[in-house]
Amino acid sequence: MKIIKYSIIVLCTMLLAWFLPLLYHMVSDQSARNVFTYYSSVENAFCTMDYNDGGQGFFGRNLKTGKEYSESEFDSILPLFYAKQLFKDNRFPDSINGQAVTVQDISRGTFFLKYNPVEISTPAIPIYTLFESFSGRVKLEMPGDVFRIKNKIEFINPETNEINIKKSQLFMQAFEGVGFAFPAKKLFGNPTLRKLYDEGYFVLDAKDRIFHLKMVNGKPFVKNINIPADIQPLHITVREPQDKSHYGFLFDKKDRVYLITTNNYELQLIKTPVFNAEKDRLIVMANPFFWMTNVVSDKGKECLALEAISKNVVDSISLLRPQETEVVLSYVFPFQITFLSGYSEFVKPCIQFAELWVLVVNFVLAFIFWLYFRQKDAQNLMPYLLWIGGTGVFGFIVCLLLKE
């Protein structure tokens, strides 16, 4: 009977560890907006925009001085962000900070990058498309085959499911020729026709080295990009920018972000606010004068402004929210069980533990339990007290109900 009773206690405690935090979040959590911020190359300050009276009246604000602007004034202090509107209104300045700027300069130097932690946890179908990188055509064209790579690389006709042995052997020889260590761990690319050109894929081998793979005139191009030994790759976001200045962004296991430049694959450290690649979102907004790195987390948003050429930090701003909810959770709940996460598309159990000082609350609950039952059944209280000491309020509720 005791085994059955203790099993019920364990099961009910685990259910409460899932349900009570979930209920608390449903009642107390408030949806938080990702406040738009952009660094003004005119005022050299971060600016934001908002709406008055239920979303009716627009106003912009300089976050350093607090000065507010009308919509047309806001366009003018962010000329690189609202360039199209200013050109349409014939209001685009001839120069910014004494430097002449053309439409071509803006187009070549402007891009947006959005990184979501789901990218590193979402399973992918291990079938890839390798475009011709030097076709001579204006638009990219589908190659007519796909490939897979694990213990070897194989090209497959998707209509007949037949392996193209000749092409597979040609690419396999290219991998072996540069010392690629199979099996391949990960592959990163941008397999879409909606881009100006194709730079293929970056492949992580069994020794955590990164190789660049692409097809040039029907022949394989495979090259070790020789990353430093202290960099352990976690993820690569591949891009094909108009100015061909870089291949993409490399995220390592120490939560550092690097720009993979087209200058012999030189890595350039991109400074960001405190960043956790497994939990936080990263937004990079670049223009010819400044790059803005924004980290969006459960706590809010933090931003850095970097000089576009040197990547030195010129300004920063923090838009973090008070964390009353998390403080309450850390005081009351010693751990939480979740099955869904905003950081992953997998459904799996996950246990999150609080700080060790939550044990003080656990011991107080165990003492209350002992005071309540010491006159009724003092000899059999020890298993209950130990369980409450480890599981806190969850075990306390279950033991209180079942003991009664």
**Using CA atoms, how far apart are residues 74 and 40, in angstroms rounded to an integer?**
10
Q: Where is 267: in which H helix or E strand?
A: strand 267-270
Weakly modelled stretches of the chain, pLDDT under 50 = none
pLDDT for the residue 247? 97
Structural domain includes residue 73 = no
Nearest alpha carbon to residue 249 among 260, 262, 261: 260
H helices within 89-212, ranges in order?
Answer: 103-109, 118-121, 165-177
Rg (CA), the chain: 28
**Using CA atoms, how far apart are residues 209 and 127, in angstroms rounded to an integer?**
21
Structural domain includes residue 150 = yes
Does one domain contain both 228 and 123? yes
Final residue before a domain boundary, out of 232, 250, 270: 270
Structural domain includes residue 337 = yes
Take residue 47 and report the two structure tokens written for it.
């600016």
Does one domain contain both 338 and 261? no
pLDDT for the residue 323? 61
pLDDT for the residue 374? 81
Structural domain includes residue 378 = yes
pLDDT for the residue 341? 67
Does one domain contain both 339 and 265? no
Residue-number span of the structural domain to which 206 is assigned? 109-270
Does one domain contain both 266 and 339? no
Lay out the sheet containing 313-320: strands in order across: 111-115, 281-286, 290-297, 300-307, 313-320
Does one domain contain both 264 and 393? no
**How many domains are contained in the chain?**
2
pLDDT for the residue 3? 84
Structural domain includes residue 312 = no
pLDDT for the residue 354? 82
> Do the Cβ atoms of 265 and 226 come closer than 8 Å?
yes
> Do the Cβ atoms of 325 and 347 come closer than 8 Å?
no
**Residue 213: partners with Cβ closer than 8 Å, 6 or more residues away:** 130, 200, 201, 202, 203, 220, 221, 222
Structural domain includes residue 22 = yes
Does one domain contain both 137 and 262? yes
Does one domain contain both 260 and 113? yes
Structural domain includes residue 298 = no
**Using CA atoms, how far apart are residues 315 and 342, in angstroms rounded to an integer?**
30
pLDDT for the residue 344? 65
Q: What share of the chain is helix, strand, coil (3-state, %, to 5)?
A: 30, 30, 40
**Using CA atoms, how far apart are residues 354 and 332, in angstroms rounded to an integer?**
9
Final residue before a domain boundary, out of 270, 288, 312: 270
DSSP string, 192-238: -SSSS----EEEE-TTS-EEEEEEETTEEEEEE----TT--EEEEEE
Evaluate if pTM is beyond 0.85.
Answer: no
For 288-338, the pLDDT digits (tens) are 999 999 999 888 899 999 999 999 999 999 998 766 556 667 778 888 888
Neighbours of 95 (CB within 10 A): 8
